[in-house]
């Protein structure tokens, strides 16, 4: 369930332009990653993810267009990307890759892939880029949990700090903001 | 805690310069002192020694350390001898931020730390005022971070052999996206300030980033060394061809410089892809040359490019000779080592690379002319860059030994 929640959060970020939609997507990803880290025995990492993600969500709710704007007109390619990307990540995580930890793999691959694709979209706004970056940072930390030699909570803490820091950045209007 | 200090001191210098921007002299003096302290720590550090003071394991390799020293020297050169129109404190502030990021990348023992550092550097650079939109500036580095993260995930999981190959493709593609060594990955605006343009990625942060990603790649996909090397050589040849031809034929002078960095990266990628000692030595010499000569010359040519004042004096011919990699400059030694390495691996490859090297001549003459007639500090700077390049070209062994080669 947590892995699917992470994918759903990434899909909402892909489909949204308004701050409420973006914040909802980031909140879903934060909660899902927190649960996955907690279930993996990384308690400190889970707390760090929750803190960093929660601050980023609150900051996102305070800046940008005060609307949902989930699936605005012309969102069909984004919808296809969200569903197609999720199915591809699910197939790779469960059928191509073997061994334990399929939920973690699905969540990490799905969020990394969708957030990377989101930033490449032509009509993206700075708020969506910053939200995608925060989610990408958190997913990089979660993906580090797949390493044979555990890296401990440090990548999670670093990612949480980065997500928090990114959410505080004000992009200036003069450069396209 | 040498690696932590190597990261922290330049970062503190950058923050100091940003906080005290209302008092330029104090900002410059403090930032320079902190930056020099960071350089001193890197110089006296013991390569390979691990440190875990911040909970993250850091360890500076000989190669990363040598490129960090070269990058710091390049920064010192361009800040000390910056053209009059350039604000030195601003240059130092951004240079130190980049140096701190490079130290973090070079000392990282896991690819995840490298990816997170790339994200931080990308956001810091893109959030500052520049002529390209924030969203455009973020595309290359974010694509790089996503590809590297996917590659790491593929490499770390069990499955069919295709997973390891996909991981190799992701690592090469991610590295290429970060550096901007594929056409159109990083949009280039000739009028943009250098610090916010794609130039720092390809010419300043790039060398340490490439070296670290390649080192981590060898750990992540040890069984795919041949395929990885073949991809690097292919990408290198593409960059040699595209970069040199585009640098020759493009209309804009600044764009020609940008393409020339891509062409030089072609040599470095071929060198790394050969996976023989001579290839690595050649790649390292090319990276030294990018950091210590091509990047400073680009910065000093900016004013002449803006004023459209090309020149044909002896200094311009010397600069052209250096950029073309002729003897006795460092590029010549790098090319000889590269051809020797390619001959060891597969002699027809040496022929292809040898023919490709001829493409450096026309764009180098053009770039040499674009330096204009250097005067004052700029003349000292151009002279210094040429002298450093001659020293590396005539006696490269100390510089290679510094990198443990």
The β-bridge partners of B59 are: B50
Decide if A173 is inside a domain: no
Contact yes or no for A144 and B112 at CB 8 A: yes
Name the percent of chain B lying above pLDDT 90: 65
In angstroms, the CA B215 to CA A20 distance is 42
Q: What is the pLDDT of residues B35-60, one digit of tens each?
A: 999 999 999 988 888 888 877 888 88
Q: What is the pLDDT of residues A116-166, one digit of tens each?
A: 999 998 888 889 999 999 999 999 999 988 877 767 788 899 999 999 999
Mean pLDDT score, B345-372: 90
Mean pLDDT score, B131-156: 92
List CB contacts (< 8 A) between B131 and chain A. Answer: 175
The β-bridge partners of B108 are: B58
In angstroms, the CA B249 to CA B310 distance is 16
List CB contacts (< 8 A) between B139 and chain A. Answer: 119-120
Mean pLDDT score, B318-332: 92
| Nearest CB neighbour to A136, from listed B127, B145, B162 | B145
Decide if A52 is inside a domain: yes
CB-based burial label for B222 (10 Å; 0-12, 13-18, 19+): exposed
Of the pLDDT bands very low, low, confident and very high (cuts 50, 70, 90), residue B1 is: confident
Contact yes or no for B134 and A177 at CB 8 A: yes
Grouping H, G, I as helix, E, B as strand and the rest as coil, residue B153 is: helix
Which helix or strand (DSSP H or E) is residue B51 part of? strand B50-51
Contact yes or no for A119 and B139 at CB 8 A: yes
Residue B220 structure tokens: 């992540």
Nearest by Cα to A158 from B104, B255, B276: B104
For residues B156 and B305, the model is more confident at: B156
- Residue A48 at interface with chain B, using a CB cutoff of 8 Å: no
Range of the domain at A149: 2-167
Nearest by Cα to A13 from A59, A52, A57, A73: A57
Give me the DSSP letters along B298-351.
Answer: HHHHHHHHHHT----SHHHHHHHHHHHT-TTSHHHHHHHHHHHHHHHH-HHHHH
Choose from B153, B170, B185 for mutation: most chain A CBs within 10 A: B153
State residue A123's pLDDT score: 82
- Residue A147 at interface with chain B, using a CB cutoff of 8 Å: yes
- Residue A115 at interface with chain B, using a CB cutoff of 8 Å: yes
Decide if A58 is inside a domain: yes
List CB contacts (< 8 A) between B145 and chain A. Answer: 116, 136, 140
| Nearest CB neighbour to A116, from listed B112, B142, B158 | B142
Q: How far apart are the first and last CA of chain A?
A: 36
Contact yes or no for A176 and B149 at CB 8 A: no
Torsion sign across C-alpha atoms B136, B138, B139, B141: positive
The per-residue pLDDT of chain B, averaged, comes to 91
pLDDT at B69 over 60: yes
Of the pLDDT bands very low, low, confident and very high (cuts 50, 70, 90), residue B159 is: confident
Decide if A92 is inside a domain: yes
Cα distances from B222 to residues A48, A148, A175, B215, B228, in angstroms, run 33, 15, 43, 10, 10
Range with lowest mean pLDDT among A59-68, B279-288, B363-372? A59-68
- Please give the tally of structural domains in chain A: 1
In angstroms, the CA B288 to CA B16 distance is 29
Grouping H, G, I as helix, E, B as strand and the rest as coil, residue B53 is: coil
pLDDT at A114 over 50: yes
In angstroms, what separates the C-alpha of B258 from chain A's closest C-alpha?
22
Residue B61 structure tokens: 């390799």
State residue A153's pLDDT score: 85
- Residue A116 at interface with chain B, using a CB cutoff of 8 Å: yes
Mean pLDDT score, B376-392: 91
State residue B129's pLDDT score: 79
In angstroms, what separates the C-alpha of A45 from chain B's closest C-alpha?
12
Q: What is the pLDDT of residues B77-117, one digit of tens each?
A: 999 988 777 788 989 999 999 999 999 999 998 999 999 99
pLDDT at B336 over 60: yes
CA–chain centroid gap for A46, Å, is 15
Which residue pairs, CB below 8 angstroms and at least 24 apart, start in B254-258?
B254/B188, B254/B190, B254/B191, B254/B302, B254/B305, B255/B188, B255/B190, B256/B363, B256/B366, B256/B367, B256/B370, B257/B298, B257/B301, B257/B367, B257/B370, B258/B188, B258/B198, B258/B199, B258/B202
State residue A73's pLDDT score: 87
- Residue B297 and residue B329 in contact, taking contact as beta carbons nearer than 8 Å: no
In angstroms, the CA A133 to CA B61 distance is 29
State residue A41's pLDDT score: 85
| Nearest CB neighbour to A155, from listed B113, B119, B138 | B113
State residue A172's pLDDT score: 61
Decide if A177 is inside a domain: no
List CB contacts (< 8 A) between A175 and chain B. Answer: 128-134, 137
Cα distances from B144 to residues A14, B114, B202, B379, in angstroms, run 19, 11, 13, 38
Decide if A175 is inside a domain: no
State residue A176's pLDDT score: 40
Mean pLDDT score, A70-80: 89
In angstroms, what separates the C-alpha of A46 from chain B's closest C-alpha?
16
Crossing angle of helices B295-307 and B253-274, rounded to 10°: 160
Nearest by Cα to B218 from B148, B175, B277, B171: B171
The per-residue pLDDT of chain A, averaged, comes to 89
pLDDT at A177 over 60: no
In angstroms, what separates the C-alpha of B221 from chain A's closest C-alpha?
13
Q: Which residues contact B251 (CB under 8 A, 6 or more apart)?
A: none
State residue A175's pLDDT score: 42
State residue A63's pLDDT score: 82
| Nearest CB neighbour to B112, from listed A97, A117, A151 | A151
Decide if A24 is inside a domain: yes
Contact yes or no for A153 and B134 at CB 8 A: no
- Residue B239 and residue B268 in contact, taking contact as beta carbons nearer than 8 Å: no
Residue B161 structure tokens: 């052999």
- Residue B402 and residue B309 in contact, taking contact as beta carbons nearer than 8 Å: no
In angstroms, the CA B144 to CA B119 distance is 9
In angstroms, the CA B99 to CA B238 distance is 29
Range with lowest mean pLDDT among A40-44, B64-68, B95-99, B129-133? B129-133
Closest chain A residue to B151, measured at CA: A109
Grouping H, G, I as helix, E, B as strand and the rest as coil, residue A16 is: strand
- Residue A122 at interface with chain B, using a CB cutoff of 8 Å: no
In angstroms, the CA A90 to CA A93 distance is 5
Contact yes or no for B143 and A132 at CB 8 A: no
- Residue B56 and residue A158 in contact, taking contact as beta carbons nearer than 8 Å: yes
In angstroms, the CA B83 to CA B305 distance is 13
Residue B84 structure tokens: 């009059």
Decide if A172 is inside a domain: no
In angstroms, the CA A20 to CA B142 distance is 23
Give me the numbers of helices (H) and strands (E) for chain A, helices first please. 7, 0
Contact yes or no for B135 and A141 at CB 8 A: no
pLDDT at A173 over 60: no
- Residue A39 at interface with chain B, using a CB cutoff of 8 Å: no
In angstroms, the CA B50 to CA B56 distance is 10
Mean pLDDT score, B371-394: 90
In angstroms, the CA A177 to CA A172 distance is 5
Within 71-110 of A, beta carbons closer than 8 Å to B belong to 96-99, 105, 108-109
Q: How far apart are the first and last CA of chain B?
A: 25
Closest chain A residue to B150, measured at CA: A109
Taking any CB pair shorter than 8 Å as contact, residues of chain B touching chain A are: 54-56, 110, 112-113, 115-116, 119-120, 123, 127-139, 142-143, 145-147, 149-150, 152-153, 156-160, 162-163
Q: What is the DSSP letter of B58?
A: E
With a cut of 0.85, is the ipTM above it?
yes
Residue with tokens 């020759």: B248
In angstroms, what separates the C-alpha of A126 from chain B's closest C-alpha?
6
For residues B354 and A171, the model is more confident at: B354
């Amino acid at each position: 369930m947590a892995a699917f929640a992470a994918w759903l959060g990434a899909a909402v970020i892909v489909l949204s332009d308004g701050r409420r939609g973006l914040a909802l997507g980031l909140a879903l990803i934060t909660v899902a990653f927190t649960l996955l880290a907690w279930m993996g025995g990384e308690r400190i990492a889970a707390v760090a993810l929750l803190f960093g993600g929660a601050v980023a969500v609150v900051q996102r709710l305070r800046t940008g267009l005060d609307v949902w704007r989930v699936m605005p007109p012309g969102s069909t390619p984004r919808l296809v990307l969200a569903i197609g990307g999720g199915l591809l990540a699910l197939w790779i995580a469960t059928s191509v890759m073997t061994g334990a930890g399929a939920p973690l793999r699905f969540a990490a691959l799905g969020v990394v892939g969708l957030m990377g694709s989101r930033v490449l979209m032509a009509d993206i706004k700075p708020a969506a880029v910053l939200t995608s970056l925060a989610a990408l940072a958190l997913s990089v930390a979660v993906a580090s949990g797949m390493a044979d030699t555990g890296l401990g909570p440090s990548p999670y803490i670093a990612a949480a700090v980065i997500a928090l820091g990114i959410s505080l950045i004000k992009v200036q209007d003069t450069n396209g903001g | 805690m040498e690696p932590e200090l190597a990261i922290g001191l330049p970062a503190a210098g950058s923050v100091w310069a940003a906080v005290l921007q209302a008092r330029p002299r104090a900002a410059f003096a403090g930032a320079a002192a902190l930056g020099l302290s960071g350089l001193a720590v890197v110089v006296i550090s013991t390569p390979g020694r691990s440190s875990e003071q911040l909970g993250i394991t850091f360890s500076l390799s000989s190669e990363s350390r040598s490129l960090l020293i070269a990058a710091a020297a390049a920064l010192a050169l361009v800040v000390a001898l910056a053209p009059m129109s350039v604000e030195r404190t601003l240059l130092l502030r951004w240079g130190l931020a980049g140096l701190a990021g490079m130290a973090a990348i070079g000392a990282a023992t896991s690819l995840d730390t490298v990816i997170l550092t790339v994200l931080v550097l990308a956001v810091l650079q893109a959030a500052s005022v520049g002529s390209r939109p924030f969203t455009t500036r973020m595309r290359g580095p974010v694509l790089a971070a996503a590809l590297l993260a996917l590659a790491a995930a593929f490499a770390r999981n069990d499955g069919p052999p295709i997973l390891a190959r996909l991981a190799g493709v992701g690592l090469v593609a991610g590295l290429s996206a970060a550096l901007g060594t594929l056409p159109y990955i990083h949009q280039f605006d000739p009028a943009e300030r250098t610090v916010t343009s794609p130039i720092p990625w390809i010419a300043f942060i790039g060398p340490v980033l490439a070296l670290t990603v390649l080192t981590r790649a060898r750990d992540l996909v040890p069984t795919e060394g041949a395929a990885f090397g073949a991809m690097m050589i292919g990408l290198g040849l593409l960059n040699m061809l595209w970069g040199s031809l585009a640098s020759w034929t493009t209309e804009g002078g600044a764009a020609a410089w940008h393409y020339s960095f891509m062409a030089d990266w072609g040599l470095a990628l071929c060198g790394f892809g050969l996976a023989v000692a001579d290839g690595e030595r050649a790649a390292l010499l090319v990276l030294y040359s990018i950091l210590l000569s091509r990047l400073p010359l680009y910065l000093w040519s900016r004013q002449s490019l803006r004023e459209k004042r090309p020149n044909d004096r002896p200094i311009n011919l010397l600069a052209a000779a250096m950029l073309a990699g002729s003897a006795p400059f460092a590029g010549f030694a790098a090319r000889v080592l590269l051809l020797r390495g390619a001959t060891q691996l597969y002699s027809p490859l040496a022929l292809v690379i040898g023919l490709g090297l001829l493409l450096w001549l026309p764009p180098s003459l053009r770039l040499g002319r674009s330096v204009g007639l250097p005067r004052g500090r700029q003349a000292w700077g151009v002279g210094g860059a040429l002298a450093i390049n001659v020293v590396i070209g005539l006696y490269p062994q100390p510089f290679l030994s510094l990198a443990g080669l």
